[in-house]
């Protein structure tokens, strides 16, 4: 089945979207352009694989279910989040180091026009990208079980294989410096060759209006990129782009500290989760 990314760009294949041909072609061209920038000179294998999959659009289009206007809007939002995140990550200049953990985990930041300050976590995980993708995407609603910074993740709607709308509730920070927040996000999950993507941005959904007494924060574009390390393909180069507007009256110095620490903590909690999964699998095998 042709992934939703390429179907979005190839909307001309559906009779009721013939008048949207230019939009779809522009989307495909933009994604190709950003992938080229992210790859840089001498494209790596994972970029080549994404580009090769994209080229299938020019040779074949497989039949898929037709989305209604609301569903197509969410698909488009997810694709926009992925494209914007790839564009940001492709720019290597201008990043400032926020913190470096003892194990080498690093958080960098950059201030962008129209977006504000964004953060980038760069770590190496001991697991293969497929295992991390399964935990973060296929078991997304279990995140509250292992990440104490998250109270709940609930999938409100799934559109095809790649797009979903979620509701997340964050926990308060120690000392309640930053109280609980909730988010409604559209997420775009992709697997291209050996590389995995999970992009997202804030949206609205009729099943989850703003809740009384809870501050509705906004995020996006955000994106996690997981690809095998060149030195050891069983390990993962893990990059997480984070952009959040927590709302409320919080000094920027506190927000910067909280967000960078949240990313470092996330890496630690994810490692513990994956280690526990391995332990459980070993125990069941005995």
Express each pLDDT in 169-215 by its tens digit: 999 887 667 888 999 999 999 988 889 999 999 999 999 999 888 89
Domains of the chain: 70-285 (3.30.530.20)
Q: pTM (2 decimals)?
A: 0.77
Residue 28: CB atoms within 10 A of its CB come to 19
**Average pLDDT of the chain to the nearest whole number:** 82
Q: Is the pLDDT of residue 16 over 90?
A: no
- pLDDT at residue 228 in the model: 97
pLDDT at 48 over 90: no
Q: pLDDT tens-digit profile of 91-124?
A: 999 999 999 999 999 999 999 998 999 999 999 9
For the residues 234-248, what does the mean pLDDT come to?
95
pLDDT of 255 above 60: yes
pLDDT attached to residue 7: 42
pLDDT (mean) for 25-29: 55
Share of the chain above pLDDT 70, in %: 74
C-alpha gyration radius of the chain: 19
pLDDT beyond 50 at 21: no
């Amino acid at each position: 089945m042709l992934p939703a990314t390429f179907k979005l760009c190839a909307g001309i294949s559906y009779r009721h979207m013939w008048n949207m041909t230019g939009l779809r072609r522009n989307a495909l061209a933009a994604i190709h352009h950003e992938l080229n920038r992210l790859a840089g000179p001498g494209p790596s294998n994972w970029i080549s694989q994404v580009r090769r999959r994209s080229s299938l659009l020019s040779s074949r289009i497989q039949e898929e279910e037709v989305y209604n206007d609301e569903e197509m809007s969410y698909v488009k939002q997810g694709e926009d989040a992925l494209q914007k995140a790839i564009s940001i990550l492709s720019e290597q200049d201008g990043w400032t180091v926020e913190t470096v953990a003892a194990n080498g985990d690093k958080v960098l930041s950059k201030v962008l026009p129209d977006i504000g300050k964004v953060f980038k976590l760069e770590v190496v995980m001991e697991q293969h990208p497929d295992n991390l993708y399964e935990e973060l995407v296929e078991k997304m609603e279990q995140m509250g079980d292992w990440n104490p910074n998250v109270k709940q993740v609930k999938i409100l709607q799934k559109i095809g294989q790649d797009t979903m709308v979620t509701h997340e509730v964050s926990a308060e920070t120690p000392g309640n410096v930053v109280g609980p927040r909730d988010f409604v996000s559209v997420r775009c999950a992709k697997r291209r060759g050996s590389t995995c993507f999970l992009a997202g941005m804030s949206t609205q959904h009729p099943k989850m209006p703003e809740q009384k007494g809870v501050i509705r924060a906004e995020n996006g574009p955000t994106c996690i990129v997981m690809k095998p390390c060149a030195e050891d393909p069983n390990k993962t180069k893990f990059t997480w782009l984070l952009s959040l507007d927590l709302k409320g009256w919080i000094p920027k110095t506190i927000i910067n500290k909280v967000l960078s620490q949240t990313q470092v903590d996330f890496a630690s909690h994810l490692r513990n989760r994956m280690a526990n999964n391995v332990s459980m699998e070993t125990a069941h095998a005995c």
